Amino acid sequence: MLFNKLVRGIIPGVAVASLAVGSSVVAADDTDTLSELFAAVENAVNNNNGEEWAELMYADDVVVVGEGSEGALRGMDELMPTIESIIEGSESCSIRMDDAKVNGDQAWSFADWTCQVADGEAFDVRTLYVWEKQDAGWRVTAEMYGFGTMQ
């Protein structure tokens, strides 16, 4: 099953859920926007709606890579099967932003996230997101992850 490969680190994963932004974010309006975005993404994931999750969070040309991956996933066509696998294999997901910084139309954020697996133990992932403010709003253009937490 694709989801089991994700948990073992063979296929890159993606993170979502509740957000507590660190104090280093410089623009309050952008912080509020990211908080609202992550709340909406958490809702989509926990309501098993992978298409909404993807549309809310990712740029069309996103690149995702991380620990154990065989290579980068480039674009939404390559990322969607992983998103759908996470949706199918998880009971719930949550995320805690560890730190973030906004600089104009670019931003980065670190996050710890946890997904409770429907048929096993929860797993933790630490993630670095690179954000870009696009016409549709803030979107992740690059994501890199490793298993475990930032702490």
Domain residue extents for the chain: 2-147
Structure token pair of residue 150: 């930032």
Residue range 27-53: mean pLDDT, rounded: 82
pLDDT per position as a tens digit, 65-102 = 999 888 999 999 999 999 999 899 889 998 777 777 88
pLDDT per position as a tens digit, 117-128 = 878 889 899 989
Looking at every residue in the chain, the average pLDDT score rounds to 79
Q: Is 88 helix (H, G, I), strand (E, B) or coil?
A: helix
Report the pLDDT value the prediction gives residue 151, as an integer from 0 to 100: 78
Report the pLDDT value the prediction gives residue 28, as an integer from 0 to 100: 53
Structure token pair of residue 29: 């309006």
Residue range 52-62: mean pLDDT, rounded: 96
Report the pLDDT value the prediction gives residue 133, as an integer from 0 to 100: 95
CATH topology of domain 2-147: Nuclear Transport Factor 2; Chain: A, (3.10.450)
Contact partners, residue 66, CB within 8 Å, separation at least 6:
9, 12, 13, 125, 127, 143, 144, 145, 146
Nearest 5°: CA angle at 140, between 135 and 77?
95
Question: 53 pLDDT exceeds 70?
Answer: yes
DSSP state of 13: -
β-pairing verdict for 90-103 and 73-74: unpaired
Nearest 5°: CA angle at 17, between 50 and 76?
35
Contact between 124 and 114 (Cβ < 8 Å): yes
